[in-house]
Structure formats: C-alpha cells, structure tokens
Structure 1
Amino acid sequence: MTSVQVDKDSDGKGAAAAAPEEGYQRGLGNRQIQMIAIGGAIGTGLFLGAGKAISKAGPSLILAYAIAGIVIFFIMRALGELLMYRPVSGSFSEYAREFLGPFFGFVTGWTYWLFWVVTGITEVTAAATYVQYWADVPQWISALVFTVVLFCINLISVKLFGELEFWFSMIKVTAIIGMILIGLGVITLGFSDAGDTASFTLLWSDGGFFPKGIGGTLMTLQIVMFAFLAVELVGVTAGEAADPKKTLPKAINTVPWRIAVFYLGALIIILSVVSWTVFEPGVSPFVAAFQKIGLPAGAGIVNFVVLTAALSSCNSGMYSTGRMLRDLALNGQGPKFFTKLTKNGLPLVGTSASAALMMVGVWINYEWPSEAFNYVVSFATISGMWAWIMILCSQLRYRAKADRGELPQSEFKAPGAPYTSWFALLFIGMVIVLMGIDKDARVSLYAAPIWAAILGVSYLVLKARRPEVFLPKEYRLEDEAETPGKKL
C-alpha cells in the first residue's frame, strides 16, 4: 500500500517525505498539461448547454459565468496548494483520505469514478448522435466504435492520451476564438446578414440585462457549474506530469483568462450578434450565431467541434476512471487486481472495467426511453461537485495543520484562504439548494442518497472484513503483494 511517511526534524516539525513511486510513467509534458487544463473547462456544457441557460436568464448569464468562474478559480487554487504539498495520481481521494479520514477518501474515490463513467456514457452517446448530422449511421454503432477506439488509445501510452487531448482541445479553442473574431468583425464592420442589427447594445436593449429577473439568473447557476465540471481533471494528471512542480501551477493560474476568453468573451460576442430572445433550449448558441451571420457551413463546423468536445470528455473519462480505481485498490478500498499496471505503466484492469461499464450505458441508452437515461445523467452534476467540496475541505484542514507547523507549507498557497475556500463552499451549497428548487435538476438530489447508502453499506462491510485498511497510515503493515508499480 502507498503511504506518506512524516519525518521529524530537529525542531519537531513534520516534513512530508516525497511520495513513493506509484509505477506510472511521467509522460505528460507542459504543452499537454496546459491543453488538458484548457480542454477541461470547455465542453458540451458551453457549446450546447448555454442555449438553455440564455433562454432562462438572458444577457445576465454573463454575470453568472463570471461569478461562478471566480469560485472555480478558488477551487483550483485550493487544489493547487494540495498538489504542491504532495502531487499524486488520484489526488482528490488521497487528500480526502489524509485530511478528512478513510471514509471520505473511500466515498470521494468511488464517487469521482462514477462521475466519469456516467459522463463517459453520456458523451459517447452524444457523439454518436452528432455523427448522424452527416451520415445515417445507427447510433449504437457509432457509440461502440468511439468507445473501442478511445479505450485502445488509453491502453497504448499516457503520451498518446495527452496528444489526443491536446488536439481535441486545440479544435475547441480554435473554434471559439474564430467565433469571437468573426463576431467582432460583424459588430464593428457591419458585414454579413447580421451586420445591420449586431451591436453591444443588444446586451441590455431587449428587456434589459436581467430580463427574467435576478431569480432567473440564480436558477442558471447549476447549468453554469455543470459547464465547469472536469476543470479539476488537471489534478488527476499529477502522478504522470513530467514536471508537476512547474506545469501544474502554470496550468491552474491560467484558469481566469480561460474563463474570461472562452466563456465571457464568447457569450458577450454571441449575445451582441444575436438577441437573447432567439435562443432555445437544445440549440447550440454557436450554431444560431453562425446562421444569423449567414455562414452556411457554420452549423457543420460547430457540429464537428461539439463532436470533438464530446470525444474529449469521454477520453478524459477513460483516463480518469482507471487511475481512481487503482488509487482505491492501493489503499485497500477496492479489489487488489486494480493495482496492476502494464509494462507502459497503464492501469489496464481499471480502465477495462470502466470501459465495459460505459458499453452497458450505451446499451441502456439504446433500449430505454430517453427520460430514464436523463435521470442517470443528472447525477453527474452532484457527484462532480462532491469532488470540489472534498478539495476545499481537505485544503482547509491542510492549511490549518501547516499553519500550526505540523506539516510543511505548500509552495503554491491559495490566495485569500481560508476565506476564499469557505466562500466557495457556501456558493456550492447555494447551488445545491437551487437544484432542489428546480424540478428539472431535482432528480439528481434523489439519486445522491441512494448512492450514499450504497457506499455507506460497502464501507461498513469492508471495514468489518479488513479493519486494518482504515487505521491511520502510520499503523498499517505494508503488504508486498500490493507494491505500487506491479506490472502485468
């Protein structure tokens, strides 16, 4: 089992020893880490979900994204502080286990694993529907092909995963920047079909900046937070980053400008080209903007971009699930066979099990009505936010211990903490309350207690059978059969 030993120096203060080699290959370079961080913040939540949010809040959605973006930055800086203290793969459950206790590590690891399995199911199914824009291919065939291809890519090498994610992210970034530049040209130069009406005054001329009131803006916050899910993925890459002490802080510090450009910038331009009253749920605002401008190829371009966004998310899910299962197994909170790695340092068993479950999801989506499938999908939001809550709570506990001299100070302190961390926790709590008010989002809160009960029972059974797993790490006996890095 992995463990972090704490040595006492001459002053009696604890100094965390370097984390043991986990058997992974540090094959993700700075260029790939940066793009994984960017790609994590840009997904179908922006390309498709923004249409529903705009129809609910109008131009004030820009403010909702700005406020939520500040909270996301607080979360990422809290994560960064923990990563510089101890950069490990499976970081969320590791930190929850160390600072909040074995139960929270257990729940966090399995919940984040489920989050990515569910997300992978929805994204690969969405990708299959996008293919039908060009060809009348049965949806299950496209879903099967995408799942198998991404699974194989994740079993070749972590470098190939990073390279594929780099280009997926590059496509998304290029599309958004292109949209912004074209929109600026329409607004300032007046060309295209939208040139006569395009203006920044559209942000407040059709019913004002808050056409649905403050309440309408607040009710979009859960849609906005869903769009930001996966931005924390950069933390999972810590165990395979070539130079985590350098690349991870740089990636985290880019969060503000990424949100400013790709979310706020894109929405300001789109809502200045097309009145917010035009947008409808289920219709991409990017498609609507291109159609208004009069670019016939626009819909096809956006469809391709959304396809890559879905595949990017599924690719990230394949990557994350295997690492989370292995982290749980290394700590005795999952089957031992998940600890094994290939010769290339890849968690074959965990990734294969997760991919198989994603295959079941494709079948369920084919057989069951879409309403039932949507109930499963809605759980992704609450399970993803659980990871954010655990990051913030772990950082608060770590900072308290570091300030008392019990642990070394991080090289990358979160600015304004602990106040910023408490603010982020309160904000997430408010979003959860709003989800309970919204009848469309309320179903995710029904699913959460069921999952919590399953985990609670599993925890009690495991604790009864293997109580040594839940002892403090310094009292555990090392098990050579679970040595990190054991190859298949």
Structure 2
Amino acid sequence: MNTTPQLRQGLSQRQLMMIAIGGIIGAGFFVGSGVVIGKAGPAAFLTYALCGLLIILVMRMLGEMATANPSTGSFSEYARQALGGWAGFSVGWLYWYYWVIVVGFEAVAGAKVITYWFHAPLWLLSLILMVLMTATNMFSVSSYGEFEFWFAGIKVATILIFLLLGTLYAVGLWPHHHANFSNLHAHGGFFPNGVHGAFAAVVVVIFSMVGAEVATIAAAETPDPERAVQRATNAVAARIAIFFVGSVFLLTVILPWNSLQAGSSPFVAALKQIGIPGADHVMNAVVLTAVLSCLNSGLYSASRVLFVLAGQHEAPAKMLEVSERGAPYIAIVCSSVVGFLCVIMAAVAPNTVFSFLLNSSGAIVLFVYLLIALSQIVLRRRTPSEELRVKMWFFPVLSILTVLGIVAVLVQMAFDHSARTQFWLSLLSWAVVVAMYFVTKRVAARAD
C-alpha cells in the first residue's frame, strides 16, 4: 500500500503554460545574449536556433515519458525505471544540487540589480529575496503558480514589445529611420569570428535556456497532468523560435555586433538606439523579475525533487511531510537554507568556495539531459504504443541525434578554456553522487 503523502493538485492549465514559457526566459538571456553575440557575431541567432532545437527535442522526449507516466520529479523516476537506481539517484540529487546553487546565485544577482536603484548590503537584500520566495512556495503550490504566471507574463510581454518595436525599426517603419540590415555583414561579415565562433557560444546559450523541464515536474500538481504536459511541451518549440531566435536576430540587425559592452544588456542598448527613454530602468526591472522567477522556480524544483528522493528512501523521510495546503514545507525550507548558505559564501568567500560551487554545478544540467535522453530511448521500447499520447518524432533517429548533440556540447566544454573547469568539477560532482548511492545501498544492506 502506498503511504507516501500526496501533493495538492493546485496548479491551473494557464499557470503551467506560463511556467513552461517563463522557464526558458531567464535573466541569463537578457544579459547573456550580449556575450553570445560577442562570440558569434551576427550569426548568433543561428546558435540560438541550434541550441533551441536541442532543448525542444529534450522537451519532446520528456513530454513522451511524462504523458505516459505523470509523476512529481518526473525525470528522476524515468531514469530510475530505465537505467536503474543509480541513475534515478544521480538525476535527483544532481538536479537538486544544481537548483540550490542557482537559487543562491540568483539571490545575489537580484540583490545586485536592486542596488541599481538604492544601496544596501548585498547579503541583506539577498536574504529578503530568499525569504520572500520561500514564503511564496511555503504558502501553497497555487501561490507559486500565480507568482510564476505573473513573472513569466512580464518577461513575455517585454519580449513581445521588443519584437514589435525592433521589427518596425528594422523594416523602416520607425520615424526618421530607413530599412537597414547592413549590421548583418558590415563589421567583419556574417561570421566575423568564423563558424567556430558560432559554435563556441553554444555552451552559454544552452544554459540560458535551462528551465523548460520544470513544467514536467509541475504537471503532476495539475488536475489533468497528461493534457498539461502535452500543451506545455508543444508550446516550447514556438516560444523558442519566436522569443530567442527572433529577439537575437533583431539585436544583430539594430546594433553592430562589436559595439556591445561585456556585462551589459544588449536589450538596453537596442532600445536606446531605437530611442526609447528610460530603457535602462525598464530592462533592469525586467531582469529583476526574471531573477525572482528563477528563484521561485528553483526553490519549487529543488523541493519537489527532495520530496521524490525521500519517497524512494534516498533522502531523509522528514522531506515527505506536507503542510495542510499540500506543500512539502520541510523540503522547501531545507532547499532554501542551502541556498542562503550559498549567499553567505558569496559574501565571505566569493573567489574560493562560491566560485567552486558555481563551477561544480555548471555542467550538471547537461548530465541530467543526457540521462533523460537515454531514459526515453529505453522506455520507448518498453511502453505499449497505445499509452504514448505524445511521441518523439522520427524515433529512434532523432533520439540518438539528441544524445550525440548533448555529448558534443559536453566535449566542447571539456576543451573550451572558459568552460573546462565547470565540466571537470561537475563530472566530479556526478562521480561523488554515484559513489554516495552505492555507499548508502551497502550501508542499508548491512543494516537489514
């Protein structure tokens, strides 16, 4: 008999759709896109298209598995079913580790954004943001969903407005401006740093798109998980094509690729070029919204993964305790505490401990995606066709190509001087987690 506590199905379809959309539009896109354009030049939108395709394929694989078997902490369960206990344990703990580090990082980033308007200690502002988002998650899953709905709505509205203004400017319908696409070739050509430059930016782009998979975790807390996952995964493809590829294409049309300053948002520069007053304040507010959205989703994802691990007796049983409103409150608090410890490390040891934490989680999400892809290939062969409401396209060819694509990105990280440390430390993190799995199993066997 299943005695595992149940989470409340308090998310609506509209909330889940926005979680899926908002999950892929983080603060990293609004600022990090400048880094990508600096590496790839005008060809940056092709880099976004290529990485977007990889994320779409991973989401389609997740959609296939999640509609056949909706489950909180979904991909941890699928890895366990397909590849064994070590894989489920790895995916769960690696994904939890990734998100609690991200929560700490985003809290610091959010605090830095706020200091644009008024000065206060970073640790204090970070603490306030952490407490605010923890309270949101603790209250109920519907409050998390509602916050995320509005956070995502602001990000989506901002990009749509930018797409409209940018298109009018590019095609010559903006006052006192004629159609001009010369920036695509006038400053060293379409590939100013060679085709290699476009591929060198892949790692940055992939990490700016992480988060869409949160929708498949959240789907288990909706009244109709199958329909929710199907709609959310189908929506991701169009959103990536429009929001990412469209926005970056317009950025490279409006601005010379080599005019962007490192660390500043190209969206601010583009809006100033168009002639929009107060662009810096508007975009700063949007970046803060994106940070809060990431904080919100990070705590949500980390707590649900802990909940699932506890259900498998791979995390303390206390993590299974659920509040009257159906939220796993102890898992939320524990994830929040670890996130705040990361904030403290950012204050007292930014170049040692905090740097190590960031680097040791840098490639983890790619390892998780790799295990997701391998799980789909295995489970597809075991699942009766009538149970597959969503199917991966052109199976097994595209599934295998997805695995090869993820491996190619990891290989590039291993040899890229700017990403090499992240790759090897993240690989070490994975090795430690796998070792923990076998140690805990051996201890449990001796106890029995």
TM-score, length basis structure 1: 0.88
CA distance in 1, matches of 2:308, 2:378: 21
Q: How does 1:416-455 map to 2 (within 5 A)?
A: 416-455=394-433
Contact map agreement 1:29 1:243 (CA 8 A) in 2: no
Matched with 2:331 is 350
Matched with 1:261 is 242
Deviation per CA, 1:309-341: give whole Å up to 9, x if none.
011001001111111111011111111111111
* AA matched with 2:310: A
Decide which moves more: 112-121 or 177-186. 177-186
1:171 aligns with 2:164: no
**Post-superposition shift, 1:468?**
10
Contact map agreement 1:340 1:348 (CA 8 A) in 2: yes
**Post-superposition shift, 1:190?**
5.7
- Give the secondary-structure state (helix, strand or coil) at the position aligned to 1:327: helix
Q: 1:156 aligns with which of 127, 131, 139?
A: 139
Q: 1:132 aligns with which of 102, 112, 115?
A: 115
Percentage of matched positions with identical amino acids: 34
CA distance in 2, matches of 1:62, 1:183: 15
* AA matched with 1:207: G
**Post-superposition shift, 1:294?**
2.8
Q: 1:47 aligns with which of 26, 30, 48?
A: 30
CA distance in 2, matches of 1:185, 1:445: 42
Matched with 2:69 is 86
**Post-superposition shift, 1:466?**
2.0
1:27 aligns with 2:10: yes
Q: 2:224 aligns with which of 231, 235, 243?
A: 243
1:275 aligns with 2:256: yes
Deviation per CA, 1:131-184: give whole Å up to 9, x if none.
011111221111000000110110111001000000000110111111111112
**Post-superposition shift, 1:287?**
1.1
Matched with 2:343 is 362
Matched with 2:378 is 397
- Give the secondary-structure state (helix, strand or coil) at the position aligned to 1:413: coil
* AA matched with 2:406: I
Q: Which has the larger radius of gyration?
A: 1
Matched with 1:8 is none
Q: 2:434 aligns with which of 446, 452, 456?
A: 456
CA distance in 1, matches of 2:198, 2:357: 26
Matched with 2:194 is 213
1:109 aligns with 2:109: no
* AA matched with 2:404: L
Contact map agreement 2:42 2:191 (CA 8 A) in 1: yes
CA distance in 2, matches of 1:364, 1:258: 36
Matched with 2:182 is 201
- Give the secondary-structure state (helix, strand or coil) at the position aligned to 1:343: coil
Q: For residues 218 and 189 of structure 1, do their structure 2 counterparts lie closer, same or farther at Cα, with a shift above 3 Å needed?
A: closer
CA distance in 2, matches of 1:384, 1:429: 12
Q: 1:97 aligns with which of 73, 80, 104?
A: 80
* AA matched with 2:68: Y
Contact map agreement 1:375 1:443 (CA 8 A) in 2: no
Contact map agreement 1:91 1:238 (CA 8 A) in 2: no
Q: How does 1:221-236 map to 2 (within 5 A)?
A: 221-236=202-217
**Post-superposition shift, 1:45?**
2.0
Q: For residues 454 and 320 of structure 1, do their structure 2 counterparts lie closer, same or farther at Cα, with a shift above 3 Å needed?
A: same
CA distance in 2, matches of 1:469, 1:57: 56
* AA matched with 2:376: Q
Contact map agreement 1:117 1:357 (CA 8 A) in 2: yes
Q: For residues 294 and 456 of structure 1, do their structure 2 counterparts lie closer, same or farther at Cα, with a shift above 3 Å needed?
A: same
Structure 1: 5+ residue stretches without partners: 3-19, 471-488
CA RMSD of aligned residues (A): 2.0
**Post-superposition shift, 1:192?**
6.3
Q: For residues 432 and 76 of structure 1, do their structure 2 counterparts lie closer, same or farther at Cα, with a shift above 3 Å needed?
A: same
Contact map agreement 1:332 1:469 (CA 8 A) in 2: no
**Post-superposition shift, 1:21?**
7.8
* AA matched with 2:298: G
* AA matched with 2:124: I
**Post-superposition shift, 1:421?**
1.2
Decide which moves more: 264-273 or 146-155. 264-273
CA distance in 2, matches of 1:246, 1:409: 13
Matched with 1:143 is 126
Matched with 1:57 is 40
Q: 2:58 aligns with which of 75, 83, 101?
A: 75
**Post-superposition shift, 1:426?**
0.6
Deviation per CA, 1:333-370: give whole Å up to 9, x if none.
11111111111111111111110011111111111234
Structure 2: 5+ residue stretches without partners: none
- Give the secondary-structure state (helix, strand or coil) at the position aligned to 1:155: helix
| Aligned length, in residue pairs | 448
**Post-superposition shift, 1:416?**
1.2
Deviation per CA, 1:393-431: give whole Å up to 9, x if none.
1110111112xx5x8631111111221111111111111
- Give the secondary-structure state (helix, strand or coil) at the position aligned to 2:387: coil
Q: 1:330 aligns with which of 311, 314, 317?
A: 311
